[in-house]
Amino acid sequence: MKKSKYGAKKITIDGITFDSKDEARYYEYLKKLKIEGKIINFELQPKYELQPGFKKMSKTYRAITYSPDFLIYHLDDTEELIDVKGMSTQQGEMRKKMFDYKYPHLKLTWVARSLKYGEDGWIEYDKLKKIRKENKRCQE
């Protein structure tokens, strides 16, 4: 089994290779929501340009892109981008900030798997971070 750059084990479901078990679990969760009629549909890894490629002093720079894990089409005709996170990185935080600046009209949500705190096993990443910080403070 291959590992991704952050040590997460890659996993293949329905012929699709996911970067982590949690990402694959979220895919299964979305399939269930679609079957139950709770969402219209979803897509995998839509790509958004954060900064175009350019040239400077004969050096070519590639475009900076961001591909959240999923794009969900909700029943109320809204769309939501989901990125499944096990942990946050400085690069990830920067891309999210650039995305939010360039695409203010698009909803991007980072989620984490949490059986303890999450509804249906999932919770917004920032909420989980806040809960963990509070719990750590209480233990000191």
Distance of CA 55 to the CA centre of its chain: 30
pLDDT digits (tens, 9 = 90+) for 118-134: 778 898 998 888 888 88
Least confident of 9-13, 52-56, 58-62, 134-138: 134-138
Least confident of 58-72, 98-112, 124-138: 124-138
pLDDT of 2 reads 47
What is the CB-side half-sphere exposure of residue 79 using CA atoms within 13 A?
A: 11
Residue 132 belongs to a domain: yes
Residue 108 belongs to a domain: yes
Residue 83 belongs to a domain: yes
pLDDT of 7 reads 64
Strand order in the sheet with 39-44: 39-44, 70-74, 79-84, 107-113, 122-124
Residue 1 belongs to a domain: no
Residue 61 belongs to a domain: yes
pTM for the structure as a whole: 0.84
Residue 51 belongs to a domain: yes
pLDDT digits (tens, 9 = 90+) for 9-54: 889 999 999 989 999 999 999 999 999 999 999 999 999 999 999 9
Evaluate if residue 1 carries a pLDDT over 50.
no
Query: How far is Cα 120 from Cα 29, in angstroms, rounded to an integer?
Result: 9
Domains contained in the chain, number = 1
**Which domain range does residue 88 map to?**
42-139
Residue 134 belongs to a domain: yes
pLDDT digits (tens, 9 = 90+) for 82-100: 999 988 889 999 999 999 9
Residue 18 belongs to a domain: no
Instruction: Give the pLDDT mean for 101-110.
Output: 96
